[in-house]
Structure 1
């Protein structure tokens, strides 16, 4: 398993202007095929946080765009349930003044 530093260094080397997130992920997986998408995303954030100089907008957009989901854990919309009303009690009726 590759360390986060190794993945971050690879990301810095392969990232080019206008590179799509899928292409960036594929480029990293060519060198580290066992790396998960989650690890690569974390390495992208790590590369951004640890970088001293340079424009890493590709890494930034990749990390932000891909952080929501993981290939192992698909994001599913949850259904909201309505609260059940207490049907045993009747609403109070106020007498007119």
Structure 2
């Protein structure tokens, strides 16, 4: 298994302006076939946070876009159920 540092180094070498996330992930997996998507995303954040010289905006965009996605569908926010309005009538009133 490749370490996060090795994956980050590979990502920095591969990342180019305009590279699509799928292409970046495929290129990393060619060099590190045992790496999971989660490990690659963590390595992308690591490469950005490490702060070596250069523009790492593509790695940052990749890491943000892929961090919680297990497949190609975007993450959808769950709707919360509406609160029921439970107003009670005073005991002295009759129903109409």
TM above 0.5, yes or no, is: yes
Structure 1 residues 83 and 91, CA gap change in structure 2 (3 angstroms): farther
Number of corresponding residues = 89
Q: Take 1:34 and 1:23, find their aligned partners in 2: how far apart are those partners?
A: 17
Matches within 5 A, 1:24-43: 24-43=24-43
Q: Which position in structure 2 is the counterpart of 1:90? A: 89
Structure 1 residues 90 and 52, CA gap change in structure 2 (3 angstroms): same
Structure 1 residues 39 and 24, CA gap change in structure 2 (3 angstroms): same
Deviation at residue 53 of structure 1 after TM alignment: 0.6
Q: Which position in structure 1 is the counterpart of 2:94? A: none
Q: Take 1:12 and 1:23, find their aligned partners in 2: how far apart are those partners?
A: 14
Q: Which runs of 5+ in 2 are unaligned?
A: 92-96
Structure 1 residues 62 and 82, CA gap change in structure 2 (3 angstroms): same
Q: So what's the TM-score if we normalise by structure 2? A: 0.76
Q: Which runs of 5+ in 1 are unaligned?
A: 93-97
Matches within 5 A, 1:1-97: 1-71=1-71, 75-86=75-86, 89-90=88-89
Across the aligned residues of Structure 1 and Structure 2, the Cα RMSD in angstroms comes to 2.3
Deviation at residue 85 of structure 1 after TM alignment: 3.6
